[in-house]
Amino acid sequence: MGFALYYLVSQWDEVSQAVKVIAPTSIILSMVMVAAGLGFGTLSWIIILNGLGPRVPILRGAQILLVGQLGKYVPGSVWSYVMQMELGRQYGVARPRVLVTSLYAAGVGVVASLILGSFALPIIVQEHPELLWLYLLLPIGLICLHPKVMTWLASLVLKVFRRPPLDHEVSLGVVAGALGAALASYLCYGVHLFLLVNSLVDPDFGTYILLTGAMAIGFTAGLVAFLLPSGLGAREAFLIAAMTLLLTVPEAVAMTVVSRMMMTLTDIVAAGAAAIAVVIMRRRLAAEGSV
């Protein structure tokens, strides 16, 4: 959490200047959509987790993911997976199961982002032709999401960790639910960016499609740029490329900084809220047990 807080403080001067030109209503609604996007992303992760084994309560699953993913702000996003595995172990969820869940959630996210990103690709690729190679991941991702393939791969990872293979096949409903939640997450992030841009220009629905696609591709680019804290810089490059079709370069840079700040703040607040909720629940259960 310290790295995330440091990022907030270090970027505050730029953000405070950019916020002055954004309507207060847009800021509030944009933050709400960031929270909704994070919520759908969390739901996607929990759907996969519960599809791989005994059901984990939503609140507990959310804590494992939301607190653990703060590790993405440490250079080398592998720390996010390490933290999630350790948190899962503390709550009785085997490390390999958490790792498989996180890897598959990342894969589902990539597939969802490439599907939505294809709508903005013809425009963004003019500035970033190197993005085309990312679409080699789409057919691979779709194959890996097949229930039989997903079950086999999950069992393979469990075998590497000397754990028993899955005793059931991952259902099509799990795959569809996780993918649907991931798509909903990116759509919410697209609305978030649309609301920010709306403070400077009068965008139309086509602009929303462009911004959503750029945001989605940016997340995948940030995942590939795993040596940077939370893919810092990779996502912003694509957002700026898309927004310069509507805004000046300084305005586009300002909006990306504000967007990043909102997401970082939401990550911190959500992780804190998840941790506090579990503490409250534990105390309530302890009090009931002592009666």
d(CA 240, CA 235): 9
Give the C-alpha distances (Å, rounded to integers) separating 206 from 120, 201, 242: 10, 13, 12
d(CA 239, CA 247): 11
Burial code of 57-73, b = ≥16 C-beta within 10 A, e = fewer?
eeebbbbbbbbbbbbbb
The pTM score is 0.82
- Tokens of residue 167, six digits: 């005793």
In 3D, which of 63, 126, 116 has the Cα closest to residue 91?
A: 63
- Using the 8-state DSSP alphabet, how is residue 145 labeled? T
CB of 6 within 8 A of CB of 153? no
The number of angstroms, rounded, from the C-alpha of 78 to the middle of its chain's C-alpha atoms is: 14
- Tokens of residue 19, six digits: 């916020």
In 3D, which of 194, 209, 203, 213 has the Cα closest to residue 259?
A: 194
Per-residue pLDDT of the chain (291 residues; tens, 9 = 90+): 444 445 445 555 555 666 667 778 888 999 999 999 999 999 999 999 999 888 988 888 888 888 777 666 665 556 677 778 887 887 788 888 888 888 888 889 989 998 998 887 777 677 667 667 777 888 888 898 898 998 898 888 888 877 787 878 888 999 999 999 999 999 999 999 999 888 777 777 888 888 898 888 888 876 765 544 444 566 777 787 778 777 777 778 778 888 888 888 888 888 888 778 767 766 775 665 554
Which residues, 6 or more positions from 95, have their beta carbon under 8 angstroms from its beta carbon? 85, 86, 88, 89, 161
